[in-house]
């Protein structure tokens, strides 16, 4: 089967568009995660457990999950 140049170009453009969208979404997730990390660190330094818990909830960390317990160990310096 032989593809014409227009079909090849459309395919290439479509692949590039999907790649750019995935990169953009990954960058947005990284920025969100970094902002939540900075907020959680500020709450830890201020020893504000309520603010720390709120940051965990915003980061979609479920209560009593292993991640939740690790985060609280970090908050109370129990590593």
Q: What percent of the chain has pLDDT above 70?
A: 94
Domain holding 29, by residue range, is: 5-75
Burial class (CB in 10 A: 0-12, 13-18, 19+), 52: buried
Residue tagged 């079909």 (tokens): 7
- Model-level pTM? 0.60
pLDDT-derived band at 23, boundaries 50, 70, 90: confident
Alpha-carbon gap, residue 37 to 35, rounded angstroms: 5
Q: Which pLDDT belongs to residue 6? A: 79
On average, the pLDDT of the chain sits at 85
Domain count, the chain: 1
| Residue 3 in this model has a pLDDT that exceeds 90 | no
């Amino acid at each position: 089967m032989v593809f014409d140049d227009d079909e090849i170009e459309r395919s290439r453009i479509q692949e590039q568009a999907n790649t750019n969208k995935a990169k953009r979404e990954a960058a947005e997730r990284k920025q969100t995660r970094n902002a939540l990390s900075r907020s959680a660190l500020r709450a830890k330094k201020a020893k504000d457990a309520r603010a720390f818990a709120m940051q965990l909830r915003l980061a979609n960390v479920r209560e009593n999950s292993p991640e939740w317990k690790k985060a609280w160990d970090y908050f109370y310096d129990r590593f």
